[in-house]
Amino acid sequence: MTKLTTIELLKSIQSSKDGLALFELLERHPEIPRRTIQRQIVNLIKAGEILASGNSKSRRYFDVSREKPKNEVPKSGKEVYPKFIPLSADSKDILSYIDQSFEARKPIGYQSDFLESYRPNETWYLSEPLRRQLYKMGKAGEIDEPAGTYSRAILNRLLIDLSWASSHLEGNTYSRLDTLELFEHGKVALGKAAIETQMILNHKSAIEMLVNNVDTAEYNRYTLMNLHSALAENLLPNPADEGRIRQHTVQIGKSVYRPLTTPQQIDEQLDIFLSKVNQIRDPFEQSFFTMVHLPYLQPFADINKRTSRLAANLPLFQANLCPLTFLDVPEQAYSRAILGVYEMTRVELLRDLYVWAYERSTQEYLVIKQDLAEPDPLRLVWRDFIKQTIHDVITHPELDPFISIQQATSRKVPENERASVQALIVEELRRIHEGLLARYGLRPSEYLTWKMRHG
């Protein structure tokens, strides 16, 4: 029934040139419950079959072949910056310089003042109105929830989206669906180079490392070096460069920018970066600062941009904000924005892309948030007590279950919560089955004995 429902919804969306909103899908399929439609929409987005566009009330769902943005290529063969990404006048000025031929752009080395002149919480790459806008778009959890609560709740989806999109920016040809198959079933996509599969798997490992340690991780050498090591595994010509600060000269392809060459200079600038980024109080400014200065410094032999994209998510994870997944960010738009930083030490083009990319990410992740069930706070507080009580009830089939529950709650639970906790235990007891026995530390034989006596 679920597969049939999914197919019906997908056909409806594919048949509509302008996409469909939730209420339109409900009108077309009155026989399908609203909750089922919402769940299947999330599944279709996860599988890469449809895309969501618009804010919550105006959100519409499109067949990927109609909605997915494509880079414009004029007859001359030269790529045009995507028109669907809004640009400020300053960004257009950067673009006009970057779009000149390689020979017309002036070679430039690392400018230490670019980093050293930044004053945390006084200098702002993202203005206050822009930070408010980003926070409004990305607010996903409650302020008093533990760090990383939201990122852990959406981890499976995050692994697919961020691994796929970040790899795509490096020219990886895996599709979103290929990535899903690789993670869930270990199925390597046909016709793909081994390096592409390794890149995707490395992203998965690195993201898991960040999320699993989000409550203790911070911007320091340990985090950055281990993040780089996870992303670089089996991808660098010299394995000794994995997770190690660069010891040799590097060159940036298609750029006139020349990074620092000596390890001592790189170490000094990395320490300055870490000092400043840890002082920044706003999570979005902290995130964007990382996306600007880590690639600019090039502290590793390679894989600097990938490291910066994942590291930029750390403050968002910790603040329970929607992640920045880079979904549908065109590679040529990102590379030109980074060139603006490299060759001009200007952030406006990357800033405009960051804002657009974050809005694109939140449009999909807020759909997922709506589908996440909120935990019952009372059930959470009394979780261990409920499990122990059910275990005691079933392992003593000679006793009346309801009397046992009343006696247990009267001993342990405050009077103002007693009736509610009793109701929770009775509800758990009524729905128990063989698939839940391990949760309560029960053996099948114990459950069968109790069930034969109490039905």
Encode pLDDT of 97-147 as tens digits.
Answer: 999 998 999 999 999 999 999 999 999 999 999 999 999 999 865 555 787
Give the contacts of 418 (CB within 8 A, at least 6 positions apart): 409, 410
Would you mind telling me the total number of residues written for the chain in this entry? Answer: 455
| Domain regions of the chain by residue span | 1-63, 89-372, 377-454
Structural fold of domain 89-372: Fic-like fold (1.10.3290)
3-state secondary structure (DSSP) of residue 191? coil
Give pLDDT, residue 57: 55
Query: Residue 367 above 80 pLDDT?
Result: no
Residues annotated within a binding site: 302-309
Structural fold of domain 1-63: Arc Repressor Mutant, subunit A (1.10.10)
pLDDT digits (tens, 9 = 90+) for 55-71: 555 678 888 755 444 44
Q: Looking at residues 331-335, what average pLDDT do you find? A: 95
Q: Looking at residues 404-408, what average pLDDT do you find? A: 91
Report how far residue 31's alpha carbon sits from residue 204's, in angstroms, rounded to the nearest whole number.
39
Give pLDDT, residue 1: 43
Query: Residue 82 above 60 pLDDT?
Result: yes
Give pLDDT, residue 374: 53
Instruction: For the chain, give the mean pLDDT.
Output: 88
Q: Quickly list H helices, 139-212.
A: 149-153, 155-168, 176-185, 194-212
**pTM greater than 0.85 (yes/no):** no
φ/ψ (deg, to 5) at 61: -115, 130
Residues annotated within a binding site for ATP: 302-309
Q: Is the dihedral of CA 388, 392, 394, 395 positive or negative?
A: positive
* DSSP per-residue letters across 198-259: HHHHHHHHHHHHHHHTTTT--SSHHHHHHHHHHHHTTTSSSGGGTTS---S----TT--EE-
